[in-house]
Amino acid sequence: MFRSSNIVSRIFERQIRTPAPGTSVHCARQFYENLVPSCTIYDIECPDHSFRKFTDDGRYLISFSRNHQDLIVYRPTWLSFSCKEEDCDFHDLPSKAKRFESFFTQLYCVSLASSNELICKDFFLYVESNQFGLFATSTAQIHDAPAIGGAIQGVPSIEKITFHLVRLEDGVILDEKTIHILQIRDSGNLVDVRAIGAFCREDDELFLNSHAQCMVFVDKSKQHDLSANQVENGLQSHQNMPGTPFLSGIKQRLLSFIFRGIWNEETDHTMRVQCLKKKFYFHFQDYVDLSMSKVQFLDRHHLLIKFGSVDGGVSRNTDHHPAFFAVYNMETTEVIAFYQNSADELYFLFEQFCDHFHATSRNLLYMNFISSHSNNIHALEQLRGIKNKSSSFSQFVKKMLTSLPFSCQSQSPSPYFDQCLFRFDEKLISAADRHRQSTDHPIKFISRKHPNSLKFKIKPGPEAGGLDGRTKKISSFLFHPFLPLALSIQQTFLQPSVVNIHFRR
């Protein structure tokens, strides 16, 4: 819409021209090319906290204490100061600008974890309609836990995980639960929904327990008759008849789906038997040994579940360990799709409908403008470039599908990650919520409309760079969802974190 990149010309042009139907929001977002966080305050004086993220509505900055016991919540404000001279933009900022409190106001500090628990610093979900925050605490990992009570041999076990529902406005803890799937009520309560694994329906456990009691009664009667018969014949046996344990409910559903899929591949009985031997019975134990490693909601009723071997779950290199994805309907308790992590069909679904794997907000309009290769031509071209450079399409598919299932609320809605507006190096920074290897060079954000126009730079760490270039440094970036405000945090082993604030002056 805009013919000029000058902000005054754009404002005047907005008054006299009407954008094309359905493009008003896109046109309004173009103003972010002029409103950028181009000013940086390096190594700001701030509390020694672990900063997590901004809430999606931009009201709160979430952080945790270094001992992972306390939750500290801040309200983003803005640096304000007076200048009596002309050309204030060229004068140095006042000394108070070096303080964290000039940009953020602490609302409260509340203790979440007990003495034997720690806050899970990578877990936080926000319910913007009620301004609730969902946090988690857990006991320490047990690395040599016995394989009982659902634990898996070789996988670290956690004795207790607790979810805490906090009203972020005042820090009141509304509810606590230790459950698998929960529903958040408007009243601020966590309601047990169900636990999927050993059982699939609410009454499965009751049915199996009553069935087991009947079987015990029958077995005792049989053993009594058998013992009496053996005594009469001069024989005595002390051996029990061990019962065969059931597979878990979800594993029963999975095996049934795989069996039916292979059964329907062939119509000839002989070929069907041969096919089952090769594809099902030969790999039967491998399917039985699969364990759930990650789950996400696709919608209200469907889950995307990642299955893998125990070795693949604890190993950093998963190339040699097969992984599978299953789509599970919680209401009907049926598996409706099953893919290996190298399946072309699943990859093409991921490429064309990537946004369907992300749950979007119904209340915040700007949450619908997070760039992906399903809705942005520039992101799609970048993905295709990576695919064309790959030597093996199968390995490329595996690499792309490692991100599934997606973690909820794991992408920043900041307009500065909109690939229709800016171009940047995604190896160094992106909308994805994860740590990255730091660099001493600034990260450039270049205008997509004017490829030679540098709009702003983000540089983590000290202004002069690190003294030792060989030391490994990790950086994370927290962008406000709609303001030209960002935090960069650089962490170096056995050294204090360096926090920089980037804002529009």
> pLDDT tens digits, residue range 145-185?
676 655 666 677 788 889 999 999 999 999 988 866 777 77
- Asked if 3 and 13 touch (Cβ cutoff 8 Å), the reply is yes
Q: Give this prediction's pTM.
A: 0.84
- Beta-strand pair 132-138/157-158: unpaired
358 and 387 co-located in one domain: yes
Show the domain range for 390: 343-411
396 and 494 co-located in one domain: no
CA distances from 189 to 125, 137, 165, 176, 402 (A): 15, 17, 8, 8, 34
Tell me the helices (H) and strands (E) count for the chain, helix number first.
Answer: 10, 25
Q: How far apart are CA 450 and CA 30, in angstroms?
A: 12
Which of 316, 341, 366 terminates a domain? The answer is 341
- Asked if 119 and 66 touch (Cβ cutoff 8 Å), the reply is no
377 and 424 co-located in one domain: no
The fraction of the chain above a pLDDT of 70, given in percent, is 85
Which of 288, 323, 341 terminates a domain? The answer is 341
Q: How far apart are CA 324 and CA 65, in angstroms?
A: 38
Which three-class secondary structure state does DSSP give residue 60? coil
Q: How far apart are CA 367 and CA 377, in angstroms?
A: 18
Q: Does residue 24 belong to any structural domain of this protein? A: no
DSSP codes of every residue in 289-358: T-EEEEEEESSSSEEEEEEE-HHHHH-S--TTS-EEEEEEETTTTEEEEEEETT-HHHHHHHHH-GGGGS
Count of residues for the chain? 505
Number of domains in the chain: 3
51 and 173 co-located in one domain: yes
Q: Per-residue pLDDT tens for 6-42?
A: 888 888 888 888 888 888 888 888 899 999 999 999 9
Q: Per-residue pLDDT tens for 202-248?
A: 777 777 777 766 655 556 555 555 444 543 444 343 333 344 467 78
283 and 407 co-located in one domain: no
Q: Does residue 15 belong to any structural domain of this protein? A: no
Residue 296 reports pLDDT greater than 60: yes
323 and 363 co-located in one domain: no
334 and 401 co-located in one domain: no
Q: Does residue 241 belong to any structural domain of this protein? A: no
Q: Does residue 114 belong to any structural domain of this protein? A: yes
253 and 331 co-located in one domain: yes
Q: Per-residue pLDDT tens for 62-107?
A: 999 999 999 999 999 877 766 777 766 667 777 778 889 999 999 9
- Asked if 56 and 31 touch (Cβ cutoff 8 Å), the reply is no
Peptide bond connecting 405 to the previous residue in cis, omega within 30 degrees of 0: yes
Average pLDDT over residues 273-277: 93
Q: Does residue 108 belong to any structural domain of this protein? A: yes
Q: Which residue has the tokens 């679904």?
A: 349
Closest CA to 350 of 282, 298, 276: 298
Beta carbons within 8 Å of 85's beta carbon, 6+ residues apart: 91
Tokens of 285: 């134990």
Tokens of 406: 């997606």
Which of 313, 341, 369 terminates a domain? The answer is 341
297 and 391 co-located in one domain: no
328 and 260 co-located in one domain: yes
131 and 40 co-located in one domain: yes
Q: Does residue 186 belong to any structural domain of this protein? A: no
Closest CA to 181 of 171, 190, 189: 190
391 and 481 co-located in one domain: no
